[in-house]
Structure 1
Amino acid sequence: MRPAGAAAGVLAAVVTTGAHRALVARVRSRRWERTNHAGRTVTLLEGPAFVAGAAAGATLGGAPGLLAAVGAGAFGALDDLAGDSGSKGLKGHLGAAARGELTTGAVKIAGLGLTGLAAAALADRGRGEASTLDTLVGAGVVAGSANLANLLDLRPGRALKATALAGTPIALGGGAGAASAGAAVGAALAALGPDLAGRSMLGDTGANAAGALVGVALVHGCGRRGRLGALAVLVATTLVSERVSFTAVIESTPVLRELDAWGRGGR
């Protein structure tokens, strides 16, 4: 990684590791527990630890990444702690809102949009060529990335691997988004061990923060065409997820299946 990305990654990894250990040792509330796909009880405290580490690393890149990590993580925590399973997915939450029912998921969707808008605006500040349209598209990229990471957090290590794979090239490439990408990668690698072991998971808190950070890194490095392309992919993927199981697609594709299962040990 280039210096900015490497420094952000190391700082994020150190803080994530320390925060995870401290939180697991001290927090006993069952509100931070979930039953995973294998029927095991796991802790969601990995999420707050990820946010702490990612935010620390993102400070080396300025306000956009810091805001994305903390803002997306906070709205994710709202859904983790106060959400219910009555409405699921984008369609479910928007459908409930259309019926006059306000779900925590709908609040989170709005919150991610506002977080994305603020982060994109900060990233575009001082870029004379960036228009209002560019910033709005950038906001969609940040929010969409946050949502996509959350959609992937269905099996141990899956969302963290995706974060590391998406963030590493940006961190290696340098530029304004390197620190945000490096922070996401560092925090993801630090959290990967307990996640793969089936002891903890990101939850909405960590997954939304991870995706938002990668989204900010993309916004930093892309002009209008790049942002539009990224947004189109994110929107299409989100719409497909309402009808198609990501897990089914991954398990039916040999390369993806092997990558997804790597390090999991059957859990």
Structure 2
Amino acid sequence: MDRNLLLNSNHQKLLKAAHLLLVASVFGGLISILSLLLLKQTGRFEGNTFPIDLGILKVFTWGVNYAFLILMITAFIYGIFTKWGFIKYKWIILKWLLVLAMFIITWSGFGPAVSGMASISDAGLNNSLMKSEYLEFQNKALVFAAIEAIIMAISIFISIFKPWGQREVKGQLRQKTIIMVVLPLIIIGVGFTVSNTISLNKIRNMPIGSVNLTKINDGVYQGEAKVGSYVYKVKVEVKNHRIIDIKGVENRKSVYLTYAEGVFQKIIKEQRADVDAVTGATTTSKAFMKAVESALKQ
């Protein structure tokens, strides 16, 4: 390993401090989510569960998800620019396997479960089918939070005690090779994330015009909105200058689209197209608002 590329002691201390803060954020966030979910299981939060679900979503997004991604970056820096490496010691290999397991669980199960809970509770739990799905998401989130908390506890234990001694593993990865492989992947990932975020923010900040319902006659009006690569269609029924029903028409099949349809009840309740989007399905909710606006402006 090229010693000229290693971080000096002061930089390593700063990196370690940042790493420990991120570990505390992820582990603390998981414990907080787990505690709230266990309290919900006892039935103490009855009625409107949305404030609790929104809190869980915020903790997951900022305290767990984003902190975990930055934590992975600091771990990569540790592997590249310090003496520890990636496969030099067996306990480090195990830590990377645990990190990979957490990454898969977070993106394939934990994240969708937390987001699904917030979306359904924001839209309302009146529909018995959605309530059943909500409880399924809640149970999944509880299991995933427990698993990830255990994984984090094991990782912390490994980092402190460094089991199996410091026996080296045969075959080392060259530092420059790692940089040449990892750095382009990080740049591509960051670029894709930034581009996607800008695109989504344009949709989420899309203006929704006001409609004067007193000038709209009774009838069923159809509207659509092209957002991104999809066209969203709705039918809006008006009676006595009030919106009484909204339905999606021939739209793509998506779980987030189903959640976003909860915005229809918000529009009917507030009698305007520009309402708060459904949490966890903000982009699709905004598309439906624009489609309703289109229908009413015909």
TM-score (ref. length: structure 1) = 0.28
Higher strand proportion = 2
| Higher RCO (CA < 8 A, seq sep 6+) | 1
Higher helix proportion = 1
Query: Bigger radius of gyration, 1 or 2?
Result: 2
TM-score (ref. length: structure 2) = 0.26
